[in-house]
Chains A and B, each alone.
Chain A
Amino acid sequence: MRDRQAILGARNVSKAFFGNEALRDVSIELIPGRIHALLGENGAGKSTLINLLSGTLTSDRGEILIDGNAVALKPRDARRLGVAVVQQELSLAPHLSIAENIGLGALPRRWGLVDYGRLAALAEEIGGQLGIVEPADTPVGRLPLGRRQLVEIAKALSIKPRVLIFDEPTSSLAAPDVAKLMGLVRRLRDRGVAILYISHRLNEIIDFCDYVTVLKDGAVTADRPLAGLDPSGLVRLMVGRDPQNLFPQYATQRTDDLVLEARNFRSGAAAGVDVRLHRGEILGIGGLVGHGQEDFMLGLYGAAPAKADQFWARARGGSVRTAPFAHVSEANAAGVAYVPADRRKEGLLLPHSIDFNLLLPFFARHGTERRRNAEEERITEALARRLNIRGDRRRPVQALSGGNQQKVAVSKWLPLEPSVLLLNDPTRGVDVETKREIYVALRRMAAEGKAVILLSTDTPELVHLCDRVMVFQKGRVAATLAHVEASEEAIVAAAMGVGSAQTRQ
C-alpha cells in the first residue's frame, strides 16, 4: 500500500438528527487503488457517512475533502467530480428504460437532445461487463430486484468514477453476479479507482478488501489494514466497548407454562420458523435488518397473512387456538398486543392527546357505549404512574420526546392485560434514561407472567434482557441462544452466517 493522496475523505465530521448524534468526529480517507471496507452494526452511522461523502447530506461539523481540498458538495457536484454511489435503496426510475436509467443525471447529448446512439453504446458496454442481458429498452420496473441492483451498479460505473461507493451491493445479487461484480471491482481498483465497500458478508470483506474502518455508535473504533484479521476478529471490532450499566440485573421469570407454539411458521420473508413461548419469558429476536424478523412479528399478530404447519396459542380465558390469527382484532381478543417500530406512523395518533392515545385499545373493546370519564381517568392515571409519564396528559403526543412517545405506545396496551406482548425495536431513537425505564418495565411485565417477544436491532438488549435469543438469517432461525450463550459476538456471528458450532443448538 503506497502512501498516496486520498481522492475523497472526511475530516472530523459530525452529524446529528433531531438531537441524536449519528456521527461523532469521524475521519476516513479513500485512496486510489484500494478497496476500503466500512463495517458497523445497524445504526452505527454507515449510511450517514456515505450520504455525507456523496453530498446527499451536509455535515454539522468537520469537512469533506476532495483531492485534499475542503468542498461543499451536492450530489450533482459529487458525480461531476467522479464520486459514484451504488445505493442500497436504489436510485432508479422504474418507468424509464434500462438505458435511460444508466445515463440518468449525465445523459449523452447532441444538439441538446439525448444522443440515443451513444446511450445505446454506453448501456451495451457497461451492461456487457456486468452481464445485463435484458434489452436496453426494458423498463426497469419490469426487472426483479437482483437485476435492478445490477442496473444501479451500471449507472454508477457509467460516469467513469474515480471514487466508487458500494452500499451493500450484493445483498440482493445471485452468486454468479456477485463473482462478476468482484472481478469488475478488482479491475477498477487496479486502474486506480478508490473504492468504499459496505457489506454485512464478512467473508466477502475478508477476501476482497484491503483496508477497514469500523464504526460503532457513530464513532470510529478501528481504522487499519485488513491483513491479519479473520471474521471473528472483525466481529470483535464491531461489537467493541462494554455495555454501560444500563440494564437491570438479569433474573429470569420464565416458567414452563407454554402460551404459544408454532412449527414452520411462514409470513412474508419469514420462511419457516419454529417458536415456543412461555409465561414470564422474554424472547429476543435478532439478526440483520430485513431477514424476516418483522414479517414474523406481523404474522404472529395477524397483521400480515401467515401460515404454519402447527399452531397453538392459549388465549385469554384459557381457550386454545390452533390457527394463526387472521386479523389484528382476533389477536387482540386473544390477548396478543403489538408495539410497532415506527411509533410516529403506526403506533400513535400524533396530534391527539396522551390520554386519547392511551385509551385507544380500550375504545376498540368498548364499541358504542357511552364514555365514562371517571373510568378513563382512572386508567390513564394508573398507566402514567406505571411508566412514569410526567406532566399534563392533555398535551398532544407529538409534543413529547421520542422516548416518552414510546412509553405511551407501549403502555396503552397494558389495560388489556395482554398475555403476549410483541415489541418491535422499542428503544430505537430513544435516549438512555428512557431506555432504562423501558427495560425495567419489560422485566416487570415478565414478572407478572406476560410473555414478551422483543425484536431489537440493538444487540446489547438481546444479550442482557432476554431469556433466549432467536437469530434470524434469510427468513429462518440461524441460531437459538440461551441467555448464558448469548454474547454480542455470538449473535452478530450467527446473523452474518459465520458458523461456529458451539453457538448453535
Chain B
Amino acid sequence: MNDGLTPARGHRLYWSIQWRRNDGLGALFLVLAAFAVIYAILFPGILGVGALAKFVQGWFPTAMVAAAETIVMLTGGIDLSVGPMVSLGSVVAASTMQGPMGILGGLLAVLALGGCVGAVTGSFVAIGRYPAIIVTLALSFVLRGVALLLLPRPGGFVPPSLSEFLAGSHPTAAVLLILFVILWKVYQATPLGIGLVAVGDNAEGAYRSGVGVATARLCAYILSGVLVSFTGLYVAAQTGSGDPVIGEPMTLAAIAAAVLGGVGFLGGQGAMRGALAGSLLMSILINVMFFMDLPLVAQYVVQGLIIVCTVSLPLLRSSWRRAL
C-alpha cells in the first residue's frame, strides 16, 4: 500500500461512487430543469433573493418529509405516519414554547419526541420484525389521536421571533437544507450509513456479512422520526401556531416525492438527491398551478399525471432499448 497515494485514491473512489448514483435520474433532472425554466419565465420575480428564500421555505417541509421517507424506504421499509407526525410535531412545538425553557425547550421536546417515536417504530420493525407498513399505519392513528387530544383546534403559541428567523426574510430554510445534505453525506460515509443501503438491498446477505441489520434499521427510523418532527416545528413557525391536522396530506406527498426521485419500494434502490429533486419538482408544480389559478382538484390530477409520466420514463426507455 502506498500511503502517499491513498488519500487521493480514496477521494477518486468516493466521488466516482457518488457520481454513479446519478444513474437513472437523468430524466428527472431534465424534467426538473425544464419546469424550473418555465417557472422562471412565467414569474421572473422568483429570481430575486427574497423571492427565492420564500420559495425554498415553501419547499422545505416537503423536502424534509421526502428525505425522511427515503431513509426508511432505503432500508426496505415504509413510513405511513409521516403526516400525523408532522401534525404532532407542530402541536408539541406550539404548546411547549410558552414553557420556562422557551424556544430551546420546545426544540428539545420536539426532537426528543421524534427520536422516541422513531425508536419505538424502529424496535417493532427491526427487532420485532413486524411489517413496517402495518406498524406505521397503526402508529399514524395513534399520533393523529394524540395530536388532537393535546390541541383540539389550531392554536398554541410560537414566538414571533422564531417565525421570523425560520420563515421570515432570512434564507434560513436554504441553510438548513444544505446542512442536512452535508450531514446525510457524512452519515452515508459511515459503516452504519452504508449498512442502511446494504440492509435494504439484501438483508440476509448483510446479516451474513456481519452488518448489524437491526442497528442499521433502528437508526434509520430514529433519524427519520427526528427529521419529521422537526418539520412539524418548522410548519408551526410558518403558520405561527400548532395545528393537529396540518400534516395530513404530507404522508402521500412524501412517498410520491421519493418514488418520483427513483427510490424503490423494495429497498436499497435510490438516492437522497433523487428524492429532494422529486420534492422540488412537486413544489414547483404546485406553485405554477397556484399562480395559474387552477382549481385545487385539477392540481391533484396534474400532479398525479406528472408523477406517473416521470416514473415511467426510465422504464419506457429501457424497454425501448431492449426492443432494438
Contacts and interface: CB of A to CB of B under 8 A. Distances in A.
Interface residues of A, number: 43
A95 B73 CA distance: 14
Contact of A93 (B1, B20, B197): B197
Contacts of B48: none
A91 B204 contact: yes
A120 B10 contact: yes
Interface string A125-147: 10000000001111100000000
B9 interface: yes
A117 B209 contact: no
Given A76-B212, A105-B210, A94 B189 contact: no
Interface string B244-273: 000000000000000000000000110000
Given A91-B209, A109-B191, A119 B202 contact: no
Interface stretch (A96-104, A194-202, A478-486): A96-104
A90 interface: yes
A91 B207 CA distance: 9
A136 B191 CA distance: 17
A94 B201 CA distance: 7
B16 interface: yes
Contacts of A117: 6-11, 13
Q: How large, as a class, is the contact surface on chain B?
A: 35 or more
B296 interface: no
A118 B6 contact: yes
Interface in A73-123: 75-76, 78-80, 85, 87, 89-97, 99-100, 104-107, 109, 112-121, 123
Given A118-B1, A137-B17, A93 B212 contact: no
Interface string B1-28: 1100011111111101101100100000
B190 A112 contact: yes
A249 B7 CA distance: 74
Nearest to B192: A112
Contacts of B10: 115-120
A106 B210 contact: yes
B20 A96 contact: no
Nearest to A99: B13
Contact of B9 (A79, A121, A155): A121
A112 B189 CA distance: 9
B205 A91 contact: yes
Given A97-B17, A137-B16, A79 B186 contact: no
B129 interface: no
A95 B6 contact: no
B233 interface: no
Contacts of B208: 54, 56, 75, 85, 87, 91
A96 B201 contact: yes
**Binding site secondary structure of chain B:** helix
Nearest to A140: B201
A116 B210 contact: no
A100 B17 contact: yes
Contacts of A137: 13, 16-17, 19-20
Contacts of B206: 91, 93, 104-105
Contacts of A92: 202, 205
Contacts of B207: 56, 75
Q: Which of A76, A94, A123, A137 has the most CB of B within 10 A?
A: A137
B236 interface: no
B77 to A, nearest CB: 16
B12 to A, nearest CB: 7
Given A117-B9, A117-B10, A104 B209 contact: yes
B194 interface: yes
B198 interface: yes
A93 B201 contact: yes
B110 interface: no
B211 interface: yes
Nearest to B268: A95
Interface string A185-227: 0000000000000000000000000000000000000000000
Q: Which of A91, A95, A99, A139 has the most CB of B within 10 A?
A: A95
Given A92-B202, A96-B198, A99-B13, A113 B6 contact: no
B210 A75 contact: yes
B17 A105 contact: no
A95 B194 CA distance: 10
Given A87-B208, A121-B6, 8 more contacts: A79-B209, A92-B202, A96-B198, A105-B211, A114-B189, A116-B11, A116-B14, A137-B17
Closest 3 CB pairs of A and B: A117-B10, A91-B205, A105-B210
27 contacts: A54-B208, A56-B208, A75-B209, A76-B210, A76-B212, A79-B209, A80-B210, A91-B205, A93-B197, A93-B198, A94-B268, A96-B194, A96-B201, A104-B206, A105-B206, A105-B210, A113-B190, A116-B10, A117-B9, A117-B13, A118-B1, A120-B12, A120-B13, A121-B9, A135-B16, A137-B17, A155-B209
